[in-house]
Chains A and B, each alone.
Chain A
Amino acid sequence: MSNTQTLREWLLTETPTSRRHAKISAFYHGWLTLRSNTMAMIGLGILVLMLFVAAAAPLLAPHDPFTQDLGNRLAPLWSDGHVFGTDSLGRDILSRLIYGTRITLYIVTLVTLIAPVAGLLVGTVSGYVGGWTDTVLMRITDIFLAFPRLVLALAFVAALGAGIENAVIAISLTAWPPYARIARAETLTIRSSDYISAIKLQGAGPIRIITKHIWPLCISSLIVRVTLDMAGIILTAAGLGFLGLGAQPPSPEWGAMISEGRRFILDHWWVATVPGLAIFTVSLAFNLLGDGLRDVLDPKAGD
């Protein structure tokens, strides 16, 4: 029978024959839902393109991003050999943008690996265990929330020393409290539900309940929040760069490029605008994809 079945039928079957088959089938269904969402596909396309650009930066960049050419500084858009012009030191903006993709991806990936995971951990433990644990963890969260984000990040970077890695740590330290709050709120509604009672009656311990039963339900709202925060993360990194505490010159970080171009914004607007547009595009892509992913990850909205 499997010989006459097409791959598509095998993937869309109502009666999977094995656990692996069911998983692949569920994945394919998710993919179909995502694919039917045009906006999410645009977002995904931009991000895939960005990944490709970051990977192939040396092949794609027309110039070395660090080579200065003071005779040809602040060249306008579409000038000879410099599609996006040059900056105040005569460096090719397009090449710097292409190499900057790597830094942006690096920051975003690290922060999204640290902050939501830390928030999820703190929030779910706090919400599930309750009592004193909850009080202590939530007051710590409140303390972090009470400071303006950039100011707190500044303090951390000042303590840890300048550099991209420390900027990432500082941003993560300031970004986790909202995730903890969301995860705790979700946990409070989940923990008293019958399906948690049911698994308790099978003798499951708190660790299993939190990781296998509560986390999967918190993740979709966290993903949405993370994708919405992406722009903020990129901008905080840029802000730290601007203050000399994040990416160090001559590193082609997009935020640092904007703050560098800020000085010439009236006469040479493209120097700041082009990296600004890049940040805008990537943030938009993350938002679009995040919305689409939420639809996929929420099986109740499935049909």
Chain B
Amino acid sequence: MSMLNVKNLNVWFGKRQQRVDAVRDATFEVARGESFGLVGESGSGKSTILRAITGLAPNWSGQLSIDGNPVPQKRPKAFYKQVQMVFQDPYASLHPRHSVDQVLGETLQLHGFRDIDNRVVKLLDDVGLGQKFRFRYPHQLSGGQRQRVAIARALAPEPELLLLDEPTSALDVSVQAEILNLLTDLRADRNLTYLMVSHDLSVVGHMCDRLAVMKSGEVVDILSVAALRSMEASHPYTRQLFEASL
């Protein structure tokens, strides 16, 4: 059974003349427990696919199904318990007036958990932040620490599928490695499925099992990471992308 099934997905912005088709006819499948990468240049519609899956981009057509259940236009609460997302920029994804405790506490409360105190403590430990960060505000944290908080927030409802929207591209190199290792460990511990967007092929090569290549809104190629490593690409655009990233 596949965890995520995307079939003929179209996403567009604007109406009539101003309509822009950001994603056209995208079809791919992510197996349970798999880590799947979406790569492509800026503006190719990678992030838009994630936003369409979560409902943040409201104009979409096609079929989306999570764990075999079709996703309706209006997402039920149970959907967000199953699917969570980590945003690209940790400087923009945390509310500037909410402490770490408030961010995690509110998330847990919204998902109907009871033992919030214990869970906040555990989440912070899980993402490698100690107790002393619990009552800090975002401006008192570094970029990497913020992204750890954002990951903790995404993990709070105990999701099965985690959507990662370039989770390390706003961080500097040494911190990138830390966050990627954290994500790898979490996936092993919690048996998560990842759908990861990146423009960095080495990150995808490190993190993913398979990847899809996107170009101007379309999925042009789907291949395994083994093929990426051995540079065996069938599609000319994929080859071009590989050569450009050498």
Footprint of B on A, CB under 8 Å? 14-16, 19, 21-22, 25-26, 193-195, 197-204, 212-213, 216-217, 299-300, 302-303
User: Are A203 and B95 neighbours in the complex by a CB distance under 8 Å?
Assistant: no
Name the contact of A201 in the complex, choosing from B80, B131, B135 (C-beta under 8 A).
B80
B99 within 8 A of A: yes
Nearest CB of chain A from residue B49's CB, rounded to whole Å: 15
A194 and B137 contact, Cβ closer than 8 Å, known pairs A22-B99, A203-B77, A212-B106? no
Nearest CB of chain B from residue A94's CB, rounded to whole Å: 45
- Which residue, A22, A26, A217, A303, has most C-beta atoms of chain B within 10 A? A22
In Å, the complex CA distance between A21 and B99 comes to: 13
User: Are A194 and B101 neighbours in the complex by a CB distance under 8 Å?
Assistant: no
Name the contact of B107 in the complex, choosing from A16, A202, A217 (C-beta under 8 A).
A202
User: Are A194 and B89 neighbours in the complex by a CB distance under 8 Å?
Assistant: yes
A203 and B111 contact, Cβ closer than 8 Å, known pairs A16-B135, A194-B92, A299-B97? yes
Nearest CB of chain A from residue B78's CB, rounded to whole Å: 9
* Residues of A with C-beta under 8 A to B135: 15-16, 19, 21-22, 25-26
User: Are B85 and A201 neighbours in the complex by a CB distance under 8 Å?
Assistant: yes
User: How many residues on the B side are at the interface (Cβ–Cβ under 8 A)?
Assistant: 34
Nearest CB of chain A from residue B83's CB, rounded to whole Å: 8
* Residues of A with C-beta under 8 A to B89: 194
Majority-rule SS of B interface residues: loop
Q: Find the B residue at minimum CB distance from A198.
A: B93
In chain B, positions 93-116 with a C-beta closer than 8 Å to chain A are: 93-99, 101, 106-107, 110-111
* Residues of A with C-beta under 8 A to B88: 194
B44 within 8 A of A: no
Nearest CB of chain B from residue A128's CB, rounded to whole Å: 15
- Which residue, B93, B96, B97, B156, has most C-beta atoms of chain A within 10 A? B97
* Residues of A with C-beta under 8 A to B140: 303
User: Are B137 and A299 neighbours in the complex by a CB distance under 8 Å?
Assistant: yes
B193 within 8 A of A: no
User: Are B110 and A15 neighbours in the complex by a CB distance under 8 Å?
Assistant: no
* Residues of A with C-beta under 8 A to B35: none
B84 within 8 A of A: yes
Nearest CB of chain B from residue A172's CB, rounded to whole Å: 27
Nearest CB of chain B from residue A124's CB, rounded to whole Å: 15
* Residues of A with C-beta under 8 A to B45: none
In Å, the complex CA distance between A270 and B80 comes to: 69
B37 within 8 A of A: no
B157 within 8 A of A: yes
Footprint of A on B, CB under 8 Å? 54-56, 77, 80, 84-85, 87-89, 92-99, 101, 106-107, 110-111, 131-132, 134-135, 137, 139-140, 150, 153, 156-157
In Å, the complex CA distance between A198 and B96 comes to: 13
Name the contact of A302 in the complex, choosing from B54, B93, B139, B153 (C-beta under 8 A).
B139
User: Are B132 and A14 neighbours in the complex by a CB distance under 8 Å?
Assistant: yes
Nearest CB of chain B from residue A120's CB, rounded to whole Å: 15
User: Are B97 and A203 neighbours in the complex by a CB distance under 8 Å?
Assistant: no
User: Are B95 and A195 neighbours in the complex by a CB distance under 8 Å?
Assistant: yes
* Residues of B with C-beta under 8 A to A212: 106
* Residues of B with C-beta under 8 A to A302: 139
Query: When A and B form their complex, which 10 residue pairs have the shortest distance between CB atoms, in order from nearest?
Result: A22-B135, A194-B93, A15-B132, A194-B92, A195-B95, A203-B77, A216-B97, A16-B135, A203-B80, A202-B110
Q: Find the A residue at minimum CB distance from B163.
A: A201
User: Are A195 and B94 neighbours in the complex by a CB distance under 8 Å?
Assistant: yes
Name the contact of A198 in the complex, choosing from B99, B132, B139, B150 (C-beta under 8 A).
B150
Name the contact of B97 in the complex, choosing from A25, A193, A199, A217 (C-beta under 8 A).
A217
Q: Find the B residue at minimum CB distance from A220.
A: B97
Nearest CB of chain A from residue B179's CB, rounded to whole Å: 17
In Å, the complex CA distance between A217 and B98 comes to: 10
User: Are B132 and A203 neighbours in the complex by a CB distance under 8 Å?
Assistant: no
Q: Find the A residue at minimum CB distance from B85.
A: A201
Q: Find the A residue at minimum CB distance from B91.
A: A194
* Residues of B with C-beta under 8 A to A203: 77, 80, 110-111
In Å, the complex CA distance between A129 and B132 comes to: 38
* Residues of A with C-beta under 8 A to B134: 16, 22
In Å, the complex CA distance between A25 and B110 comes to: 26
Nearest CB of chain B from residue A146's CB, rounded to whole Å: 31
